[in-house]
Amino acid sequence: MNRRFALAAALCALALSIAPAQAAKPRKAVVKTKPAPPPAPLPDTVRVAMVTALGTIEVDLDHRRAPITVENFVRYVDAKKFDGMPFYRAMRLNWGTQPNGLIQAGLQANPLKVFKPIAHEPTSQTGILHKAGTISMARYAPGTAMADFSILLSDLPSLDADPKSANAESQAGFAAFGHVVTGMDVVRKIWDAPLSPTKGEGPLKGQMLEPPVKVLTVRRVSIPAP
């Protein structure tokens, strides 16, 4: 009897020692995920459509000649950072053939939306000159451009780089990187929009749109076959 009791007790002890192992949940297999493939390289020309409150502007960006500037701009487009931004400025030059000047849009250095500044690509390097319909990066000093840009209503060669100039700003000029293909009538509507007599500081005073013209979306679009 004692032997039977001892054997039963031993079996119970063995069962108790095995039970936790049997009750333990099996571990889930670790599934290794493949890293996301790198983005496809941009073509020589990238077309984007800016849908504004006053109509749509389509712009061809010259990736072949201004790769740094175009890749930066497309990064904002693909991240949808430009959605909801304003066209906030209309520079109206009272000389030359009218309309003469530019309009300006962007994120106005909003720290929650902008990426790091990019290297400057002068027109003396790219060969993209500041003609009517050109899109060009706004900046402070060369190498500070982030997200703001201008669209020209007239030829403004003073914005082109002039390596022979004694002035550092004129030597650098501004970075042009594409041109409007459709929607110059919308550009003109924005340029003609009401201005605030008080907003803006220094040379910008009297050039700020009131109210700003909202950009609803900016997206890449396909270029129709010829």
Q: Tens of pLDDT along the chain (226 residues)?
A: 444 334 344 334 433 343 444 455 666 666 676 776 677 899 999 999 999 999 999 999 999 999 999 999 999 999 999 999 999 999 999 999 999 999 999 999 999 999 999 999 999 999 999 999 999 999 999 999 999 999 999 999 999 999 999 999 999 999 999 999 999 999 999 999 999 999 988 889 999 999 999 999 999 999 998 8
Dist CA 30 CA 12 (whole Å): 36
Q: Is residue 72 part of a domain?
A: yes
Own/partner long-range contacts of 108-116 (Cβ < 8 Å, ≥24 apart): 108/148, 109/146, 109/147, 109/148, 113/81, 113/147, 114/81, 114/146, 114/147, 115/72, 115/75, 115/76, 115/146, 115/147, 116/146
Q: Is residue 161 part of a domain?
A: yes
Residue 147 counted as domain residue? yes
Of 25, 9, 28, residue with least CA distance to 17 = 9
Tokens of 8: 């039963």
Q: Evaluate whether residue 38 is within a structural domain.
A: no
Predicted local distance difference test score (pLDDT) of residue 12: 42
Integer Cα distance of 17 and 8 in angstroms: 14
**Whole-number Å distance between alpha carbons of 69 and 162:** 19
Q: If you count them, how many residues does the chain have?
A: 226
Note down the domain range covering 83.
45-221
28 assigned to some structural domain = no
When divided into structural domains, the chain yields a total of 1
What CA–CA distance (Å, rounded) separates 122 from 69?
A: 10
| Strand extents, DSSP E, the chain | 45-52, 55-62, 86-92, 101-105, 134-137, 149-152, 176-182, 208-221
The enclosing domain of 177 has a CATH number of 2.40.100.10
Which helix (H) or strand (E) segment is 185 a member of? helix 184-192
Query: Is 212 domain-assigned?
Result: yes
